[in-house]
Every structure is written in structure tokens, then in C-alpha cells.
Structure 1
Amino acid sequence: MRKFENKKVVIIGGTSGIGLSTAKMLLDGGARVLVTGRSQAGLDLAQKEIGENAIVVSSDARSLTDLDALAARAKTEFGTLDFLFINAGFSLFAPLEQTTEATFDEMFNLNAKGPFFAVQKLSPLINSGGSIVLTTSTANVKGMPMLAAYGGAKAALRNFARMFAAELLPRGIRVNAVSPGPTETPIVDKSIPDKDMQAHLIAQMIADIPMKRLGTPEELAKAVLFLAFDATFMTGVELPVDGGWSQL
């Protein structure tokens, strides 16, 4: 029997990077997986990469209407869930004096409000013994220029992990967070579209990371699945996977 045989999983933000790598590992282990994304190109690419064994759904992680529809779809497809991975999110770089209200709202809607209501709407489907993993960020514990709104939203999300863990514990549901450091994912192009600035910032981050390299989506996915299924005596924690960046 494969490790994740017949486990039922929803991954919000699962069409690229960490979410897609996690979906692939789950499918290889025998799980039934539904992943969400926003862009049609991303949805098409994900379906091609993970094949017809996965359900790929267009869903905006910021939209409560879409989250309601996602919960209904998950109930129809699976009945109940064993694991919910809330991974959708990205950062926008902006100095404090240039951060607009629109940028602030985008960061909090995607990285805090959306995950809050995703847990509200999907946690009723989770079986006793199941789990939730939230993707936070090292930006919630490090003072990082140009990321104030993003770091603040991720700090809120880290606190949600504690609050959800306490509230869902009587139902036998564990809630934890994985905290990636700089990782080789396509989201970098969206967060830092200017190629010269991107190269400069990545080189600077690599210099600051004790292990002197970026993480890989596969390394993060392994940590996510540890929290989801193996860490049976852990709840409310945040697991840094950042090459020692936030610890050393």
C-alpha cells in the first residue's frame, strides 16, 4: 500500500512551485488531490504535469464566493478531507513610502483574509485525525525592507495557525505552518518582474542564507507532508525551511 493511499486532499495554490510539488508527491503516494489556481495558463500546465488523476479547479483564493464554490466542489468530489494545504500567496516589493492602499489590501486579502475564510469554509469537511498546513514566510519574523505589508500579512497568518489549532483541536484536527525561505519557484518572476533587480536581490539573499543557496519546491513539499501526516504530536507550530536564514 502506498503511503498516501486514498487520502483526500485540497491544495489551494497548487498549480506551480511548492503546491504543485506537494500535489505530485501526494499523487505518487496514492492520494486523491484537488488543486486550485487562478491563471488559465497555470491551470493548463498543472493539468498537463499532474495528469488526469488530479482535479484542477479555477478558484481565486481571495474570493469568498469562490471559496464557497470550492468547498461545495470538494464535498461533491471527496465527501470528506484528510488534508487541506493553504499555499496561495505571493509578495509585492514596495518601500514604505511607496506602498499604496491597493498593494496593502492585495497582500492582506491573499495572504491573510483568504486563508482565514478558506479554513472556515473547508475545515468542516476534514476528518478527525486530519490536518491543515498554512504557508507562512520568513518575512514574518525578519525585518525585511520593502516587504512590510507582505510580512505583516504572513505574521497574521502565523497567528491564525495557533488560533485555528486551538479551536479545531477538539475535533482532532491539527493545524501547522511551513515557513519557506527564498525558494526556486515561478512566483519570483511575479514578485520581482524586473530581471536585473531580481538577479540582484536573489544574489543578496543567497549571500545571507547560511546554506548559501535557494531552497527547492521539493524540499518544501517534503516538509509540508511531514506536518500533514507524520507530525502527529505537533499542532500550532511553524516549521522554518529556509537554509537557516531565520535561525542563525
Structure 2
Amino acid sequence: MTDHSIRGKVALIAGGAKNLGGLIARDLAAQGAKAVIVHYNSPASRADAEATVAAVRAAGAESAALQADLTTAGAVEKLFAEAIAVAGRPDIAINTVGKVLKKPIVDISEAEYDEMSAVNAKSAFFFLKEAGRHVNDNGKIVTLVTSLLGAFTPFYAAYEGTKAPVEHFTRAAAKEFGQRGISVTAVGPGPMDTPFFYPAEQAEAVAYHKTAAALSPFSKTGLTDIQDVVPFIRHLVSDGWWITGQTILINGGYTTK
């Protein structure tokens, strides 16, 4: 019988230095992962990545921090090669990389669109490609998207629009990789109480988001808490392997599809 537990497995987490990615790294280590490789985007995140690596090692797993800008296919390919050199082929590959832009369509420049597309769609595509090439049979692949994929709202066209292709990438990859027992899913949290959320929002919008979910009154901030997302990720990369090709919105009733 195939072992779908996390214990003894190797994980690679893109964007694993801090916030949700950092918590996932720590959680996988606590669940008995053999190794958790932490990717971070730029030198500005290096200290966070090193802190996460230290926490993972303290939990008993091997770890290393690898830096890369994943907006080119070559960089993603190199990341997987370096991770495999350190810890072996991954059993779990999780991509939390993303960039948010809140702006009217008429004000979005071509440069801004290109950057959003590169970070949110292109990097996700090539992460899935390399995961499909290198993740072990019966592995698990998860990409973070956004609950705005279930929204009818202005100002987020470049953000939700460049995350939307990941749903199609996920379905295709699930079909293609399924013959090797690999499950592929996308997870869309609601607006999370992390530094990723606040810079794009004005005070009025923050106040709205804190009341928009059906379960907002029962959240300490009204927003999605990363502590409430991590158990779902844990499930998808272990006993939840039978879920594949799906986009799952984890948001307390903020949006639905």
C-alpha cells in the first residue's frame, strides 16, 4: 500500500521563508519530514529564510535556504537541481510565490502587467513543469492562488487574472502526472493577516475584508489566519492525496465558486 504520510519525505517550498510558506515549512518538519528545502526570492528575505531553516532543523529535519527569482524557466530548473543536490528528489513541492496589485485596469502599465504575469502565472507554470519532471512517484504538488478567483470585484484584474491560469495548469498537470500517482492541487486562501495583504489595501478596504467572510466574527482579526490554512495543506500532501486537479478556496466563506 502506498505511504502517503509526511514522515520521511522531502519537501521543497517556493516562497518558504516567511508568512504562510514559512509556517508550512515548520509544520512539515513537525510532521516528521526528512528534509524541507526553503526557497526565498531576494536578499531582503534571506534573514527570514535562515530563521525558518533554523526552526526546521530544530524540529529534526534537514533544511537549506536557496535563493532565486523564479520568473524565468531557467531559474526554476536551477532551483530544483540545487534542491535535489542538497536533499534528493522531492516528494512534496509547494509553490506559495505570488504578487498582488490593486489598481484600476485603466491605470495598469504594460510593465506592471508583465511583472504580475511573470510572478503569478509564468513562475507557477514552470514550477509545475519542473515538479512534474522531478517529484517522486506518488508525490504531491500544491500551488497557492487566491480566493479572489471566486469574486466579482473591481481593481484586482491583474492579480486574479494572472492567478487564474494556474487553475488550468493544475487540471492539466493532474491529468498528466496522475499516471505516476502524483496529486496536483491549487489552494486559494482568503485575504490573510500577513504583511503580504496590507500594503495593497486602504484602511476602508481592510475594514471591509475583515467583515466579508461568513465566519469573520469568529476569527481574531476577521481575516484568514495562516494557522487555519496550514492544516489543509498538510492534508493535501498526505492523506488527502485523492483530491487532485481541484482549486480549493480556504476563506471562511469570503467567496465561493
2:219 maps to what in 1? none
The amino acid that maps onto 2:83 is A
In the TM superposition, residue 78 of structure 1 has moved relative to its aligned partner by 2.5
Q: Is the 8 A contact 1:79 1:125 kept in 2?
A: no
Q: Which residue of 1 aligns with 2:241?
A: 232
The equivalent of 1:122 in structure 2 is 131
Correspondence for 1:223: 232
Indicate whether 1:167 and 2:173 are aligned: no
Kindly state the Cα deviation for residue 10 of structure 1 after the two structures are TM-superposed.
0.4
CA contact (8 A) 2:42 2:69 kept: no
Q: What is the letter of the counterpart of residue 80 of structure 1? A: R
* Number of the residue aligned with 1:204: 208
Is the CA contact 1:142–1:246 (under 8 Å) kept in the aligned structure 2? yes
57-66 vs 43-52, greater mean Cα deviation? 43-52
SS at match of 1:240: strand
Unaligned runs of 5+ in 2: 217-221
Q: 1:34 aligns with which of 37, 43, 56?
A: 37
Q: Residue by residue, what CA displacement relative to the aligned partner does 1:195-238 show, whole Å, maximum 9, x if unpaired?
A: xx1x3211111222111211111211211111111212211111
Q: What is residue 16 of structure 2 aligned with on the other side?
A: 14
Aligned: 1:23 with 2:32: no
- Matched position secondary structure for 2:152: coil
Asked if residue 88 in structure 1 is aligned to residue 90 in structure 2, the reply is no
Give the deviation of 1:35 after TM superposition.
1.2
Partner-residue secondary structure (3-state), 2:214: coil
Question: What is the number of residues matched between the two proteins?
Answer: 241
Percent identity of the aligned residues? 28
CA distance in 2, matches of 1:76, 1:64: 19
Match for 1:155 among 142, 149, 164? 164
Q: Please give the secondary structure, in 1, of the residue aligned with 2:143.
A: strand
1:48 alignment partner, one of 51, 56, 78: 51
> Structure 1 residue 64: deviation in Å?
2.0
The residue aligned with 2:117 is: 108
Q: 2 CA distance for matches of 1:108 and 1:83?
A: 25
- Does the alignment pair 1:186 with 2:189? no
Structure 2 distance, partners of 1:97, 1:246, is 25
The alignment's TM-score, normalised by the length of structure 1, stands at: 0.91
Q: Which one of the candidate residues 52, 64, 84 is aligned to 1:75?
A: 84
Distance 1:57 1:96 in 2: 35
In the other structure, the counterpart of 2:151 is 142
On the 8 A contact 1:141/1:155 being kept in 2, the answer is no
Equivalent position amino acid for 1:62 in 2? T
How far does the alpha carbon of each residue in 1:90-115 deviate from its partner, in whole angstroms, 9 at most, with x for none? 21111011011111111111111111
Q: Distance in 2 between matches of 1:191 and 1:15?
A: 21
Which contiguous aligned blocks of 4+ residues in structure 1 show a shift greater than 6 angstroms? none
Amino acid at match of 1:46: A
CA distance in 2, matches of 1:65, 1:230: 33
Are the equivalent residues in 2 in contact too, given 1:36–1:59 (CA < 8 A)?
yes
Question: Counterpart of 2:36 in structure 1: which amino acid?
Answer: V
Displacement of 1:49 in angstroms is 3.8
Tell me the TM-score normalised to structure 2 length. 0.88
| In structure 1, C-alpha distance between the alignment counterparts of 2:44 and 2:154, rounded to whole Å | 32
The CA deviation string for residues 157-196 of structure 1, in whole angstroms up to 9 with x for no partner, is 112111110111111111011110011112124544xxxx
Once residues 150 and 176 of structure 1 are traced to their aligned partners in structure 2, the CA distance between those partners, rounded to angstroms, is: 19
Deviation at 1:87, TM superposition (A): 0.9
Aligned to 2:75: 66
Supply the AA of the counterpart residue of 1:48. Answer: A
Note the residue ranges of structure 1 that are not aligned, 5 or more in a row.
none
